[in-house]
A = this chain, B = another copy of it.
Amino acid sequence: MLSFYPGPSKVYPQTLGFIQEAYEQGIVSINHRSARFERLLKETLENLHQKWDIPSEYTIYFISSATEAWEIVAESLIEQKSMHLYNGAFGKKWSHYVAQIIPQAQSKEFALNESLVECAESITPQQKSSIDTLCLVQSETSNGTGQVINRKDLGFSDDCLIAVDATSSMGGIQLPWSEADVWLASCQKCMGIPAGLGVLICSPKALARAEKLQHKGHYNSILLMEQNRKLFQTHYTPNVLGIYLLNRLSQTLPSIQEIQQSTLEKMAIWEDFWQHQSQFQFDFLIDKKELRLPTVLALQGEASEVHRILRLAEQNHVDLGKGYGVWKENTFRIANFPSHTLEDIHSLIQIIQA
């Protein structure tokens, strides 16, 4: 079974060898308060900083999932009032969870072919000035939207924290780290390892906010996470094997610039294919090329066409992503993650064209 599902998805095949190493070396048994774990964590954080080009003053934390990260933002960082801008199911879900914790949380849904900047233009300066945390989605897995994150163009105050969900893009494209204060993601997408680990990245401004608020009411308070990170430990027993896999991948994979280039080249193959093939009636759900996420393709067509392609894939032991939420019936999705090779793509194209 070859999985193009947009996460969990195909994992890097070499991760099995890394797991064997972890068994041989006893990594699967190490205590997360030991010097050996501390060395592993320190090295993994350093590798990720380097390979993903994360500014040295930004801090990285391992958590359980991006869903958990949504809640951590609400519990540790939002002061009074957050604003969520979204156009898809996962942005909406984040806003829903936060609203239960932050009574004044606001949200604004925008259209599929609108950019974040266009959405932000419709918010008055008065409204903007009252928002202390802006929650954005860079990669909306439900509909294949990819947004440019640009702090200045959004027009919120300098004190406003910007938190970005990059669940389906982190590790697959270059992210403009300095344009936001919090970046969150899960490992079963572009990181290409088995599910069960999340990554949270914070700017010094985000940590300063956490310090100011002093919210320590939860075991995964950013303050407690940072206290542990300084010792190269974690705030609870983490998924050590997942951390080891990220460590080994970060040693062996190319730089994020090269990975991004490959992601864009593969996306170009897909765009060309869907434009020229005649077997199915599908268009990209997102018309504007610049608003398409290069790591998750969402294609729209008649429900019968969607069923036909999903059935065809299934018959050929390929897993495609079904449509999600309101796009359930009339779209399907294809993950274009770094673990997906040109050969994988050509296999799927051959199946479709057969």
On A, residues with C-beta under 8 Å from B are 1, 3, 5, 7-11, 13, 15-16, 19-20, 22-23, 25-26, 28-32, 34, 64-65, 67-68, 70-71, 97, 100-101, 186, 188, 194-197, 216-219, 235-242, 319, 321
User: What is the bound-complex CA distance between A121 and B5, given in angstroms?
Assistant: 57
B-chain residues with CB within 8 Å of residue A186 when the two chains form the complex: 237
B16 and A20 form a contact (CB under 8 A): yes
B241 and A196 form a contact (CB under 8 A): yes
A219 and B67 form a contact (CB under 8 A): yes
A16, A26, A64, A240 interface centre (most CB from chain B within 10 Å): A64
B-chain residues with CB within 8 Å of residue A217 when the two chains form the complex: 100-101
A237 and B7 form a contact (CB under 8 A): yes
With both beta carbons as reference points, the residue of chain B lying nearest to A23 in the complex is identified as B16
Shortest A304–chain B CB gap in Å is 21
B-chain residues with CB within 8 Å of residue A67 when the two chains form the complex: 219, 235-237
With both beta carbons as reference points, the residue of chain B lying nearest to A217 in the complex is identified as B100
Shortest A97–chain B CB gap in Å is 6
Q: A194-B241, A196-B242 are in contact. Are A236 and B68 (CB under 8 A)?
A: yes
A194 and B71 form a contact (CB under 8 A): no
B195 and A196 form a contact (CB under 8 A): no
B-chain residues with CB within 8 Å of residue A32 when the two chains form the complex: 8, 195
User: Can you pick out 11 interface pairs between chain A and chain B where the beta carbons lie within 8 Å of each other?
Assistant: A5-B34, A11-B29, A16-B19, A65-B236, A67-B237, A71-B219, A100-B216, A100-B218, A186-B237, A194-B240, A239-B239
Shortest A72–chain B CB gap in Å is 11
B-chain residues with CB within 8 Å of residue A241 when the two chains form the complex: 194-196
Cross-chain contact of A8 among B29, B65, B319 (Cβ < 8 A): B29
Shortest A167–chain B CB gap in Å is 10
A29 and B237 form a contact (CB under 8 A): no
A3 and B30 form a contact (CB under 8 A): yes
Shortest A352–chain B CB gap in Å is 20
B-chain residues with CB within 8 Å of residue A26 when the two chains form the complex: 1, 3, 319
B10 and A29 form a contact (CB under 8 A): yes
Shortest A307–chain B CB gap in Å is 16
B-chain residues with CB within 8 Å of residue A1 when the two chains form the complex: 25-26, 29
User: What is the bound-complex CA distance between A9 and B239, given in angstroms?
Assistant: 13
B29 and A3 form a contact (CB under 8 A): yes
B-chain residues with CB within 8 Å of residue A216 when the two chains form the complex: 100
User: What is the bound-complex CA distance between A8 and B238, given in angstroms?
Assistant: 10
B8 and A30 form a contact (CB under 8 A): yes
